Structures are given as structure tokens and as C-alpha cells.
Amino acid sequence: MRFFIVGLLLAAATLATSAATAGPEREVTPSVHPELQHLADRSGEPRMIQVSPRVHVAFAYDFANITFIEGDDGVIVIDAGWAKDAAAEAIAAFQKQVSKKPIVALVYSHGHADHVGGAAAFIEAAGPNLAVYAEKSWKEYQLERVGPSATHFVVRAVAQMGLLLPVGPEGRIPTGGGRMRATSLGFRYVPATHAIDGETELQIAGVRIVAIPMPSETSDQLLFWLPDEKVAFAGDIAAGALPILSTPRAERTRVPTGFIDGIERLMSLPLETLIAGHNPPVVGRAEALDALTQYRDAAQFIYDQTMRALNRNLSLEQAAQAVRLPPHLANHPLLQDHYHRLPWVVKGVYSRFGGWFQGDAATLNPLEPQEEAERMIELAGGADRILERAQSAFKEGDYPWSAQLAGYLIRTKTKLRKAVALKADALRAMAYASDSGNERNYMLTQALAMEGKLDTSRAMRAPKPLELMRMLNTRELFRLVGPNLDPKRCLEDDLTVGFDFTDLGEEHRYTVRRGVGHYRARSGPEPAVRVKLSRETFERILANRLSWSAALEQSKAVVSGPADRFDHFLSFFDGWSQN
């Protein structure tokens, strides 16, 4: 309904639509929702914001804040931003405007890419012996970046942040939390050298910093309290937007109740300034406590009412519709869902605690999507009738209905060209009318991909951090092989390949038998073919940094035995075939 109303209101001003027919007659003019434009303008130019004698926040240099704390004989930094170049600019600005003291410590608030991705700039500025601090579970969290579901996470994150979109009114725009400076899908991760176990008071360069572990945004989230400065750092549990208790990325380490506990812990401190992971700092005790109160109440309400919806046996969609913030929270400027939508957060929390079954037994054995589409088309009177109604809905500004109807045609490959064009236009129209930056990015990414104007497989091939690949044990490393296996290509095969790590003197075997992969160390069937390579080469292949073709051509991998058998083995896996 939101898009239907907005579509009608904005049709004359921002959406140039003509007769509802597929093709060039139906155009959608690029535009930006006024609220999003306001948020983008609010970010302004990159600037160094002083919040206490020692503490400066580098705001709008990157998507996330970089906080500099000037100590007696060195500088401590909280978070590194996402892009190395942006971090380097923030370092240069701090050294020019504030202090040239050496950087002696980098502290991660949590492991998200926008907070750790620029760390290489600090290594270059401070040297390889820079002390890097993180919560003790940092390794467990980071290894998810290279785990079996890592590709899923990257694909969703890339769409959410609009990393493949052109920059400007037709694509990605600033979200208000800072500027998106990342230009690469991969980044170098700098591992922590110091693990924080429990609430800990650090003494670095004469500065007291209390690190408070608080699983919430991630399992390795840290809050920070500077008692002598009366400055608290909230990370992403209070980030100038609706509390993100869940995301469409479905991160399993996110802890919804941790947001509530963390905010209450911050409220117990005699703070005068609140720094979040994004957006400008909140200066003044009354202002900071008011902001924290709003965040806490919103997080508590969303959690409680989602649990209530579960306990009332509401379905996922019913819960998403039922949970609505009270007016005093819904209208608060700090709690607008310009980032993630409230229904998305509710659905994520619901799924985390309620699972996929929503209580309706009919959903235990649903129709396949294509069969459902075929029956809906028949019920509507045929494909021509569905297309006509989809076109009319678009003309009327009812873009969600238009996209859904076009989706039935796409599933059945009926009227495909017109249906794809219509759904892409409907998504684009919704995106330009949306006041959520993430919603805009998701929709524009899909629209361009449907039209063949954007290669989303780039996200699937995104390079993974080698620093993390090296931390996997051998079994964990080979566990990354199976998710690439396409069983349809090998249902009649039984083939074992030996992988000999020449640098380690280790022998490993991987068998594909009738669509199933099986790793063994040395034992098992005798290999039909062997490949000799270093573990590092194998890591680079699994990290999407080296192809099998290049490894073989450069003699970084050498096949011993029938080469055609190894080629056949590679053909079982997504992206591995040399053909």
C-alpha cells in the first residue's frame, strides 16, 4: 500500500510513465526520495569532530566513523572504516589538524567490513607491529567470511549496500551515516593481536579505556567507555536508525537482546558524549540519555511484540504487519527506518526464534512456485490477461502488484521479454520512491540484473581474505569444496582426486560419489588422479583469487595421472571447469 500511495503522488513529479506497454514507451525517471536526499546532504563534507580534549571523530570520511583518541605518547584508534583510501585520508586529516603522535593501537568495535576493512592503512601508517585489539570471539566471527555460506552473505551484502550500482540519482547515493567509499568487493583483513576476554580496562598511551563485550550487532561486539573523558562508544547498537535486531542477510551471530542489554549498560554510565558507529556524535548528557532511551525502548518493543506475535501463532507476514511502533517512537527522528525496514527486522527476529514453519499446516506441502504461477495465470484467464493487469497496475502506481503479476509470467517463461521489462521497471519505480537506502539498493540491483545491465555474479566471485583462509584447519578448508558441487553433473560418477600439499608434505583425498562429496586425509579409495600444489595455492583458488586454469598454466598446480580425469572432476563444481 505504501508504494501504491507514493506512486500515485509522485507519478507526475518524478516518474515519467506512458501507456502501460513494455518497451521504451514506459520510462522511469531516476530520482531520490526527499528524505534520503536530506540524509545524504546531512553527511556533508568529511570532517574531524572534537568531542573531548582527547577524542576526535572522523565523520563522513567513510561509511562508518573512525575515532581517534590522543594519548600521552601515542594515538589509539577505534575502528578502521571500510576503504583503505578513506582511512588513509582520515589519518592524514587527524595528523594535520590534531596530532602527529604515532598510532600505537587499533581497536575493533566489531567485525563488520565497514569497521575493519580499512585497517591496512593503519598498518602502513604505524608499521607491522601495530597492536590490534578485538573481542575474544573475533576469529570465530571472521571465519564466517570464508565459511560455507560466505558467498550468500557477500551477495546479500553487496545488494544491500548497492556496491555494484552506478553512483548518482540512477543508482547508489549516500545514506546519511557516512559516505560509501568502498570500490572493491574484497578487502584485506588485519587479524587482532590482542583478544579482550570479559570487561577489561585497557591502559594505552596514558588513556583508560574500558572495553565491554556485548554480543549484539555481532558476536564480537565491544562497547567502550572512556571514564576520564566521559565519552562512550556504542558501536552499531545505537546507530542513528531503527535498532537493527535482524537484517535480510540473516546473520546467525546477531543477538537481538544484546541491543537492549548494551544500551542499558551505556545508560548506567556517567557519560557526557555518545559516539555511534555511524552518524555524528551526540554531545551532552541529557541529549545522549534521551537518544539511548529511544533506542532501548524501540528495541525492547520490537523484541517483545515479535515474541508476542510468535506466541499468538501469527504467521510471518501477520507478525510483520502487526508489530508497529507506538506513535511517540515511530515519529522520533532517530528511529526512522531509512536503513532497514521495521517489517524486515520483525521477520528476522521471528525467523530466528520461530523457524520457517509459520503454523499453517498447508504450508508444509505447498505448490512449487512454477506450478503456483501456472495455476494463477490460468485462474486469471491466461497470460495476456495477467500481462494486461500487470501493465495497468504499473500505470496506476501500484508497483508491488505489477511486479508480483509479472513474476508469475517470468516463472513460467511466458511473455518473458515483456514481463522482465515490466518487473524491472516496477522495481525501479519502487526504488526511486523509497525512503530506505537499503530497499532502494536491493531493488535497483535486481532491476539492472534482470535487464542484463549488471553482473551480480561478480559478488559470487568476490575475493575472500587470505588472512582468514590461512586460519582454517585442513578439514575446514576442504569443507569449502562441497558447497560448490553440482550433483546433477556427477550422479553417475565415482571419482577420487588426491591433493598433495607439497609445502607441508600432506596427502588429502576428495571423493565425489553419485552427487556427494567426501573429504578424507590419506585414507579412502586410491586416487584416480593426483594434483600437486601448495596449500597457499589451494587457499587462493578457494578464495577466488586464482583459477584452476591459471594455476595449471603457471605450474602452481601439477596433475599426476590422466589429465582428462582431473578436468572431469573440475567440471562437477561451480566455477572450477577449465572449459
Specify the pTM.
0.91
Set of cell numbers at residue 475: 578439514
Task: Name the band, by pLDDT with cuts 50, 70 and 90, for residue 202.
Answer: very high
Lowest mean pLDDT among 96-110, 240-254, 550-564: 240-254
Report whether pLDDT(546) > 60.
yes
CB 533 within 8 A of CB 558: yes
| C-alpha to C-alpha distance for 368 and 362, rounded to whole angstroms | 13
SS3 (DSSP) at 478: helix
Give me the pLDDT at residue 3, please: 54
Cα–chain-centroid distance for residue 444? 16
Average pLDDT over residues 459-475: 93
CB 246 within 8 A of CB 256: yes
User: Mind listing the pLDDT tens digit for each residue in 128-168?
Assistant: 999 999 999 999 999 988 999 999 989 999 999 999 999 99
Task: Name the band, by pLDDT with cuts 50, 70 and 90, for residue 252.
Answer: confident
Q: What is the average pLDDT score of the chain? A: 92
Task: Name the band, by pLDDT with cuts 50, 70 and 90, for residue 251.
Answer: confident
Q: What percent of the chain has pLDDT over 70?
A: 94
Task: Name the band, by pLDDT with cuts 50, 70 and 90, for residue 430.
Answer: very high
Identify the helix (H) or strand (E) that includes residue 30.
none
Report whether pLDDT(17) > 60.
no
Q: Angle at Cα 93 formed by Cα 88 and Cα 96, nearest 5°?
A: 125
Task: Name the band, by pLDDT with cuts 50, 70 and 90, for residue 183.
Answer: low
Give me the pLDDT at residue 578, please: 61
Give me the pLDDT at residue 177, please: 64
Answer with the residue of higher pLDDT: 164 or 18: 164
Task: Name the band, by pLDDT with cuts 50, 70 and 90, for residue 16.
Answer: very low
Set of cell numbers at residue 532: 600437486
Task: Name the band, by pLDDT with cuts 50, 70 and 90, for residue 8.
Answer: very low
Q: What percent of the chain has pLDDT over 90?
A: 83
Set of cell numbers at residue 268: 548506567
User: Mind listing the pLDDT tens digit for each residue in 32-69?
Assistant: 999 988 888 877 889 999 999 999 999 999 999 999 99
Give me the pLDDT at residue 38, please: 86
Lowest mean pLDDT among 163-177, 342-356, 359-373: 163-177
* CA-to-CA dists, residue 24 to 17, 291, 396, 571, angstroms: 10, 48, 18, 41
Report whether pLDDT(453) > 80.
yes
Give me the pLDDT at residue 522, please: 78
CB 70 within 8 A of CB 77: no
User: Mind listing the pLDDT tens digit for each residue in 379-411?
Assistant: 999 999 999 999 999 999 999 999 999 999 999
